[in-house]
């Protein structure tokens, strides 16, 4: 099963990526995590990416696309994979389609975790307070959500048009949400 997991910050994407990848026995691949590891290890890729990341900008498509192509050529992705944090632009949508078609495969599903804006604001501000972060004020959290909607709406639309998008209610307990995601993946009519 070749999957994408999408959803706003605070939707519980990381937690669900881990649970779904374990249930389906496929690797969860987060582009943000690969980049942070490369920055920490000061690889050539990390040195190229870090100025963009430090500014909060997107790393250029060519760098990300090459990185994903490399990762998806590893043998553990043969039975499938769950990508988190990629694609984020329409150019990346096309690059991923090409990477997969070069390998003779294609995406099976794109799962969007849907969480009400007020619920996400509540979760993120609570998390910020717990972590002692003062930068995650309600205004900043709302801005991050606006940016997510602006940037990912075209990507979601592209997958909706291709009939790949499934929307899953991301509210409730972790296990309940995982159950909904797995049910949605098993039901082609969903």
User: Taking CB under 6 A as the criterion, which residues in 68-97 touch ligand AMP?
Assistant: 85-86, 88, 92
User: What is the C-alpha radius of gyration for the chain, rounded to an integer number of angstroms?
Assistant: 17
Confirm or reject binding of residue 166 to ligand AMP (CB under 6 A): no
Determine phi and psi for 28, rounding to 5 degrees.
-90, 125
Q: Which of 37, 78, 133, 162 is catalytic?
A: 133
Determine phi and psi for 23, rounding to 5 degrees.
-65, -40
Q: Which of 13, 71, 109, 180 is catalytic?
A: 13
Q: Which of 127, 142, 160, 167 is catalytic?
A: 127
Smallest distance from ligand AMP to CB 77, Å: 17
Please, which residue, 148 or 166, has the CB nearer to ligand AMP? 148
Active site residue 127: yes
Smallest distance from ligand AMP to CB 68, Å: 8
Active site residue 180: no
Give the CA-trace dihedral at 86, 160, 149, 32, to 10 degrees: -10
**DSSP 3-state assignment of 112?**
strand
Q: Is the peptide bond before 87 cis (omega within 30 degrees of 0)?
A: yes
User: Taking CB under 6 A as the criterion, which residues in 14-73 touch ligand AMP?
Assistant: 31-32, 35, 52-53, 56, 58-59, 64
Smallest distance from ligand AMP to CB 93, Å: 10
Give the tokens for residue 52.
Answer: 């963009």
Strands lying side by side in the sheet with 2-6: 28-30, 81-84, 2-6, 109-114, 165-169
The set of catalytic residues is 13, 88, 127, 133, 144
Q: Point out which residues bind ligand AMP (CB under 6 A).
A: 31-32, 35, 52-53, 56, 58-59, 64, 85-86, 88, 92
């Amino acid at each position: 099963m070749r999957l994408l997991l999408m959803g706003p910050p605070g939707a519980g994407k990381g937690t669900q990526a881990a649970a779904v990848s374990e249930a389906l026995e496929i690797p969860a691949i987060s582009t943000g995590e690969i980049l942070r590891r490369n920055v920490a290890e000061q690889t050539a890729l990390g040195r190229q990416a870090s100025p963009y990341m430090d500014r909060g900008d997107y790393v250029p498509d060519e760098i990300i696309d090459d990185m994903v192509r490399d990762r998806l050529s590893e043998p553990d992705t043969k039975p499938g994979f769950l990508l988190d944090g990629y694609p984020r632009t329409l150019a990346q949508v096309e690059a991923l389609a090409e990477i997969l078609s070069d390998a003779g495969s294609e995406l099976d599903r794109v799962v969007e975790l849907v969480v009400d804006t007020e619920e996400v604001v509540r979760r993120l501000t609570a998390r910020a307070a717990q972590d002692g972060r003062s930068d995650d004020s309600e205004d900043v959290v709302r801005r991050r959500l606006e940016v997510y909607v602006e940037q990912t709406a075209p990507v979601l639309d592209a997958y909706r048009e291709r009939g790949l998008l499934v929307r899953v209610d991301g509210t409730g307990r972790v296990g309940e949400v995982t159950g909904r995601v797995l049910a949605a993946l098993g039901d082609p009519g969903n």
